[in-house]
Structure 1
Amino acid sequence: MPLAPPTPAERLRAALPTAAVVALIGYALVAGLAWTNPAPSDPAIATFDVPPPPPDRVPVVPKKVATHRPRGAAAPPNLRSQATPIVAPPPIILPPLVPVVAAPVAGRGADPSAGAAERPGPGSGAGGIGNGTGSGGSGDGDGYGDDETPPRLIRGRLKDSDYPDQAAEAGSGGTVSVRYYVEVDGRVTGCRVTHSSGNALLDATTCRLIEKRFRYDPSRDLDGRPVRSIVVVDHDWIVEREPADR
Structure 2
Amino acid sequence: MIETATQDRVKSALVAGAVHALLAYAFIAGLDRHAAPALDPPLKLFDISLPVPPPVVETVQPESRRMPEPEGRAAPPGLKAEASPIVAPKPRVRLDPPPPVVAAPVPGIGASVSQGASDVPGPGTGAGGTGTGTGSGGAGSGTGGGGAAARARQIAGRIVNADYPRAAKRAGVEGEVLVRFTVEPDGRVGRCSVVRSSGSDALDSTTCRLIQQRYRFAPARDASGRPVSDEKGWVQRWWLERD
RCO (CA 8 Å, sep 6+): is it higher in 1 or 2? 2
TM-score w.r.t. length of structure 2? 0.41
Higher Rg = 2
TM-score w.r.t. length of structure 1? 0.40
